[in-house]
């Protein structure tokens, strides 16, 4: 029960990595709020796990205000935020429109920025852990997904600034980022068809659990690559 009594909000929790995070968090004793834009899948999962589901587009500030209001009213505060919601679309730099670039930025970068802002407000006094899903694409050149990679680079840089800000302010809030290589989820399988050699969502969820739990109390401003050294040997996309 590594998350006993902790209140944890997981964005994009209806599918893939967020779904497995939610399953593991519930098993470890957390009170979990799943948010997503896919209401059907989100509600079904919440019912299965006995947790709360809220509709939430992470790129919209008014949605964050509504979600945080619900979390405060129903759970009394927030201990863990996993900024996990994400989308991907394949288009190399020459075929990427400004609209696509901006949409990727809105979901990943704006969404994570808003999450950090509202989580700091909620956690300033009681402390907590913010976990931002970046990607290996933030630090390696992936020519098929320039808009996604640029947005994930922003998530990584933002995480560093949040961690240092909280330390300097004396807030007991940690902020770390997770950089998975290809992991077998619906998102990754739209980019890469061959799932062989990919990691499994559980491989990432166990790192997210560590960062959410009190085992990581002295860990902040760090980034965790999860790719079984694939990028070092040229094996990752
Ligand atoms: N799977 C991988 O290989 C991989 C690698 C590196 C990073 N990531 C990151 O991990 C996170 C989870 O990805 P996944 O692979 O589980 O994908 P997924 O498609 O299985 O799940 C993503 C979820 O986010 C939701 N979502 C999309 N737009 C949203 C929005 N605007 N507001 C709220 N929810 C929204 C989707 O409905 C979906 O349920 C993403 O941030 C992704 O970029 C994934």
At 52, the pLDDT band (50, 70, 90 cuts) reads very high
At 234, the pLDDT band (50, 70, 90 cuts) reads confident
| Best mutation site among 9, 14, 17, 58 for ligand 1 pocket (most ligand atoms within 8 Å of CB) | 17
For the chain, give the percent of residues with pLDDT over 90: 95
Please state the rounded mean pLDDT for residues 156-170. Answer: 98
The CATH architecture assigned to 7-232 reads 3-Layer(aba) Sandwich (3.40)
Q: Where are the beta strands (DSSP E) in 158-205?
A: 173-180
pLDDT tens for 35-46 read 999 999 999 999
Tell me the CA–centroid distance for residue 153 and ligand 1, in Å.
16
pLDDT tens for 68-123 read 999 999 999 999 999 999 999 999 999 999 999 999 999 999 999 999 999 999 99
Question: Residue ranges per domain, the chain?
Answer: 7-232
At 235, the pLDDT band (50, 70, 90 cuts) reads low
Residue 93 neighbours by CB distance under 10 Å: 12
Ligand 1 site: residues with CB under 6 angstroms?
Answer: 11-12, 14-18, 36-38, 56-59, 84-87, 107, 133, 135, 180, 182-183, 185-188
Residue nearest to atom 27 of ligand 1 (CA): 86
- pLDDT confidence of residue 150: 98
Kindly tell me if the per-residue pLDDT of 126 is higher than 90. Answer: yes
Ligand 1 atom closest to 106 (CA): 31
Give the Cα separation of 230 and 237 in Å (integer). Answer: 9
For the chain, give the percent of residues with pLDDT over 70: 99
- pLDDT confidence of residue 184: 97
Tell me the CA–centroid distance for residue 85 and ligand 1, in Å.
5
Residue 148: active-site member: yes
DSSP letter at 144? Answer: T
The mean pLDDT of the chain is 97
**Of 183, 162, 180, 181, nearest to 118 (Cα)?**
162
Kindly tell me if the per-residue pLDDT of 236 is higher than 80. Answer: no
Residue nearest to atom 11 of ligand 1 (CA): 84
Give the Cα separation of 141 and 120 in Å (integer). Answer: 32
Give the Cα separation of 237 and 235 in Å (integer). Answer: 7
Tell me the two tokens of residue 79: 């201990």
Burial readout 96-120 (b: 16 or more C-beta within 10 A, e: otherwise):
beeeebebbbbbbbbbbbbbbebbb
Kindly tell me if the per-residue pLDDT of 49 is higher than 70. Answer: yes
Tell me the CA–centroid distance for residue 79 and ligand 1, in Å.
22
Tell me the CA–centroid distance for residue 36 and ligand 1, in Å.
10
Supply the pTM of this predicted model: 0.98
| Best mutation site among 16, 148, 151, 204 for ligand 1 pocket (most ligand atoms within 8 Å of CB) | 16
């Amino acid at each position: 029960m590594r998350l006993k009594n902790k209140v944890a909000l997981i964005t994009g929790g209806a599918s893939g990595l967020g779904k497995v995070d939610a399953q593991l968090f519930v098993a470890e004793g957390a009170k979990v709020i799943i948010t997503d834009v896919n209401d059907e899948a989100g509600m079904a999962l919440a019912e299965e796990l006995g947790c709360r589901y809220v509709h939430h587009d992470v790129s919209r500030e008014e949605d964050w205000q509504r979600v945080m209001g619900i979390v405060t009213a129903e759970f009394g505060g927030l201990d863990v935020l996993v900024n996990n919601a994400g989308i991907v679309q394949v288009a190399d730099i020459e075929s990427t429109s400004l609209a696509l670039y901006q949409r990727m930025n809105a979901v990943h970068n704006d969404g994570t920025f808003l999450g950090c802002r509202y989580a700091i407000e909620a956690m300033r006094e009681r402390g907590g852990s913010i976990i931002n899903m970046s990607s290996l694409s933030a630090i390696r050149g992936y020519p098929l997904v320039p808009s996604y990679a640029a947005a994930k680079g922003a998530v990584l840089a933002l995480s560093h600034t949040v961690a240092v800000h909280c330390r300097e302010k004396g807030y007991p809030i940690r902020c770390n980022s997770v950089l998975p290589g290809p992991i077998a989820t619906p998102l990754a399988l739209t980019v890469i068809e061959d799932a062989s050699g990919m990691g499994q969502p559980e491989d990432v969820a166990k790192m997210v659990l560590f960062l959410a739990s009190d085992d990581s109390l002295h860990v902040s401003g760090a980034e965790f690559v999860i790719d079984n050294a694939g990028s070092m040997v040229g094996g990752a996309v």
